[in-house]
Amino acid sequence: MTTHAPDGHEHVAPTPAETPADTAAGAARDIAEVAAVEVITTAAVHLLSAAAVKVGLADDPETQKDLDEARKLINALAGLITAAAPEISDMHARSLRDGLRSVQLAFREASVIPDPIGQGPGEKWTGPVN
């Protein structure tokens, strides 16, 4: 709605903003339509992508490695993949495991003082990676 102020300027009335409850209800409706396998694999891909960037596998050479952050992400990813493997298809689990192994190996290569075999990030769930 447009109104004219006494100073001659037009003012547009603000439209009511979405409330947090409206946003949550919309998100709940949206997520209700997504299969669990898709939610799980999407979360895993986000963790995998973030871990890859943190271990230095980013395309941008300016991106700084952060192995402390990478360790956290790899541990979370390994736990998720291990727990979710029986629930998602072998096709999804296999490709996620391959990606996980790649970032685990990249972490080992990037480490100045490598973890002992079997004690690197995620190896609690995946077993030794070398």
Q: Which band of pLDDT confidence, cut at 50, 70 and 90, is reported for residue 50?
A: very high
**pLDDT (tens digit per residue) in 61-105:** 788 899 999 999 999 999 999 999 999 999 999 999 999 999 999
Residue 33, Cα to own-chain centre: how many angstroms? 20
- Specify the pTM: 0.76
Q: How far is the C-alpha of 112 from the C-alpha of 114, rounded, in Å?
A: 6
Minimal CA–CA distance to 115: which of 81, 44, 67?
Answer: 67
Minimal CA–CA distance to 122: which of 84, 83, 75, 85?
Answer: 75
Q: How far is the C-alpha of 47 from the C-alpha of 55, rounded, in Å?
A: 12
